[in-house]
Amino acid sequence: MSETLKKIKRIGVITSGGDCSGMNPCIRSVVRTSISKGIKVFGFKRGYQGILDNDFLTLDSNHSVSNILQRGGTFLQSARCLAFKTDEGLKKGLDNLIDLELDGLIVIGGDGSLTGAHKIHLAGFPTIGVPASIDNDLYGTSMSLGVDTALNAIMNSVDTIRDTASSHERAFIIEVMGRNCGYLALTSAIASGAEAAIIPEVPYDLDRISRSLVRRFKEGKTNSIIILAEGAGSAKEFGQKIREKTGIEIRETVLGHIQRGGSPTSFDRIFASKLGRNAVIALEEGKSGEMIALKDDKYVTVPLDLVLSKQRPLSPQLLDLAVLLES
C-alpha cells in the first residue's frame, strides 16, 4: 500500500434516490475491495433514512454480497428522505455515523443523493460520491451508472413495438425518462433507428415532423417511431397534435419504470465494479467531497460542488448524428 494512503478501518455505503441497474455490482465492489484491505463495511438500508434510523447491515464477508452481481435495483433499497435535508436531520445522521466510528461514507446515487453527500462533506465527515443516474445528466463524468442498461431496455422495447407498428401501419410515440436531459431519448433513437427524437434541450418543429411522417407512409413505409423525453412533453399530448395535423393513426406508449430495472448489462457490471473500487481508494487517499467519474477513459475524482453546480451538456456529435440518421 502506498504511504500516501490513509489507514481506514470502517466505512459506510448507501444507495439513494431513484434506483438503477448497476447499484448492486457497485456495492459488491465496495465491499470486496474493502475486505481485501481489512476495512469493515456498514451498508445502510433505504439510503439516508437508514442513516437516521441506524438501520444497517454489517457487510463483513464476500458471502454477504454474493449472488447480487446480476440483480437489478439495490438490495440495500433506496428511499427519499426529506428529514435529512434539515439541519436537525443532518446532525442526527452525522452523530450516528460518528457513533459507529466510521472513517468515511460512499454515496451511490444521482444529483439529490450527491447533494446530501456534499452536505456531509461540508460538515467535516469524509464522503465520496458515485454517479448513478439513468438520465446521464451528472456533470463531470461521461457516463453514469445504470445508463447503459436503461438504454438497452429502451432499445429492446422499441424493437418490439416496431413489429406491431409494421403489422398495423402505425406511428408510435414512445415516451422515455429524461426530465431535464434528453440523453436516453437521443441515444435510443439513434440505436433503434427512430425517425425523430424530441428532447428538452432542442426546440422541435412539429410541422417538419408531421411532413416527414406523411412522406414516409406515402413512400410505402409501414411504420414510424418517435421517441419523446418526458421533459419535452407527454406522449399523449404530442400524439394528439400529430394526429390532428396528419390524420395518421398514432399510438402512444410510456415505458416508465421498465427503464430502471432488469439485469445490468456487462458494461454496467464492469463499470460499477470499477466505480466501487475507486471510491474505496479515494477514501484511503484522504479525499472527500469528490465524485468518482469516467473521463477520457480514465477514472478521476471531480469536486461535488462542481458536479452540482453545472448541467451536463449533450454531445454536439450525438446531436449531429441523430439529425444525419433521420429518415
Active-site entry in 135, 137, 148, 268: 135
> How many Cβ atoms sit within 10 Å of the Cβ of residue 29?
24
> In the chain, what is the straight-line distance between the N-terminal and C-terminal CA atoms, in Å?
56
Three-state SS for 197?
A: strand
- Which cell is 53 given? 434510523
* β-sheet bridge partners, residue 295: 298
Annotation marks residue 135 as catalytic: yes
With beta carbons less than 8 A apart as the criterion, state whether 135 and 178 touch: yes
With beta carbons less than 8 A apart as the criterion, state whether 25 and 264 touch: yes
Question: Cα–Cα distance between 176 and 226 in angstroms, integer?
Answer: 11
Three-state SS for 86?
A: coil
Active site residues: 135
